[in-house]
C-alpha cells in the first residue's frame, strides 16, 4: 500500500520546531543528512520529517508540484496550530528549496535553503531521457536506482515553469521572508551555480561551502556547524 510518511518529534514544551523539506526523488532520511542535522539539535527542539512522495516497498512515485506545496502548507498550519508560541524554522534541500518558496508560507523563525537549484525544468527532463537504464511506460519515467529500488516520475513533471524559473521563485519569496542560502561549490548535481539574482537581494544571506550536493564526508560536520550558527544554537 502506497503511503506518505510523516515523523514528528516535538516535546510538549518546545520553543523551536524545524520542518525538514527534502529534495527531488528522495525520502526524508535519504543519505542521512536530515537525520544527522536533527540529531544535532538541542533535545528540547522539535522536528517534523516527512515524505513528499508515495512510498511502496521502498519504491517512490513522485507527486505533482502542486501536491507537494499543499502538503508543506498543511504541515506548517498544523505545527503552528499545535505550538502557537514556538519559533518555526525550515531547513530545505535542493528542490525542497523551490517548494518552500512556492508555498509562500510565513516562517517566524529561520529559513535555510541548502544547495537550491537555479533551474531544473527542461534540463532535468533531458537528463532522464538520456539515461540508458531509464524506461518510459504509460505516463511515467521508470528510473532504476543503485539500491535496487525504482522511482516513478510523471512524464509531465518537469514541464513546469516554476521549476524552470526556480531561482526567480526563490527571489520572489525573499521579498516577504528572510532567507539563508548555502551554496555548494563542488556540486555534482547542480554543477556551478551563480545565484546572480539572489546575491542582489537584501533579504538573502548567502554562504559558501566546498561540498558536493548532499554534504557528504567532511562537509557534513561543516554543514551542521553552519546550521547551528544560523539557528543561534
Domain membership of residue 102 as a residue range: 6-120+163-231
pLDDT higher than threshold 70 for residue 41: yes
| Phi, psi of 45, deg, nearest 5 | -90, 150
- Measured CA to CA, the distance from residue 8 to residue 159 in angstroms comes to 33
Domain count, the chain: 1
Mean pLDDT, residues 184-191: 92
Mean pLDDT, residues 8-23: 96
pLDDT category, 1, cuts 50, 70, 90?
low
For residue 182, give the H/E element and its range: strand 179-184
Query: Is 66 inside a domain boundary?
Result: yes
Question: For residue 108, what is the domain's CATH number?
Answer: 3.40.50.1820
Residue whose C-alpha cell reads 538573502 in the numeric block: 204
Query: Is 226 inside a domain boundary?
Result: yes
Query: Is 180 inside a domain boundary?
Result: yes
Q: CA nearest 35: which of 214, 179, 189?
A: 214
Query: Is 173 inside a domain boundary?
Result: yes
* Distance, first Cα to last Cα, the chain: 40
Query: Is 101 inside a domain boundary?
Result: yes
pLDDT tens profile 130-145: 888 889 888 999 988 8
Average pLDDT across the chain, whole number: 93
Query: Is 59 inside a domain boundary?
Result: yes
Q: What is the pLDDT of residue 161?
A: 77
Query: Is 224 inside a domain boundary?
Result: yes
- Measured CA to CA, the distance from residue 139 to residue 152 in angstroms comes to 9
| Phi, psi of 190, deg, nearest 5 | -85, -15
Is 107 within 8 Å of 176 (Cβ atoms)? no
Query: Is 90 inside a domain boundary?
Result: yes
Residues of the chain with pLDDT > 90: what percent? 74
Task: Classify strands 179-184 and 204-209 as parallel, antiparallel or unpaired.
Answer: parallel
Grid coordinates representing 44 are 528540547
Contacts of 101 (CB under 8 A, 6+ apart): 166, 169, 170, 172, 173
Amino acid at each position: 500500500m502506497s503511503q506518505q510518511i510523516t515523523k514528528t518529534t516535538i516535546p510538549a514544551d518546545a520553543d523551536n520546531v524545524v520542518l525538514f523539506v527534502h529534495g527531488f526523488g528522495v525520502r526524508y532520511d535519504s543519505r542521512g543528512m536530515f537525520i544527522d542535522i536533527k540529531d544535532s539539535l538541542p533535545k528540547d527542539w522539535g522536528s517534523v520529517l516527512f515524505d513528499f512522495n508515495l512510498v511502496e516497498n521502498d519504491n517512490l512515485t513522485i507527486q505533482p508540484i502542486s501536491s507537494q506545496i499543499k502538503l508543506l502548507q498543511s504541515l506548517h498550519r498544523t505545527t503552528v496550530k499545535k505550538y502557537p508560541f514556538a519559533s518555526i524554522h525550515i531547513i530545505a534541500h535542493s528542490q525542497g528549496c523551490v517548494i518552500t518558496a512556492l508555498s509562500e508560507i510565513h516562517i517566524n523563525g529561520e529559513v535555510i535553503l541548502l544547495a537550491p537549484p537555479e533551474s531544473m525544468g527542461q534540463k532535468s527532463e533531458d537528463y532522464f531521457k538520456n539515461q540508458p537504464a531509464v524506461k518510459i511506460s504509460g505516463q511515467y519515467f521508470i528510473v532504476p536506482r543503485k539500491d535496487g529500488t525504482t522511482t516513478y516520475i510523471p512524464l509531465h513533471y518537469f514541464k513546469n515553469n516554476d521549476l524552470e524559473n526556480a531561482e526567480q521563485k526563490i527571489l520572489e519569496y525573499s521579498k516577504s521572508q528572510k532567507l539563508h542560502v548555502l551554496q555548494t561549490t563542488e556540486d555534482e548535481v547542480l554543477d556551478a551555480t551563480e545565484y546572480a539574482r539572489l546575491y542582489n537581494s537584501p533579504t538573502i544571506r548567502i554562504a559558501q561551502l566546498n561540498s558536493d550536493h548532499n554534504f557528504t564526508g567532511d562537509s557534513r560536520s561543516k554543514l551542521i556547524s553552519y546550521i547551528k550558527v544560523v539557528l543561534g544554537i
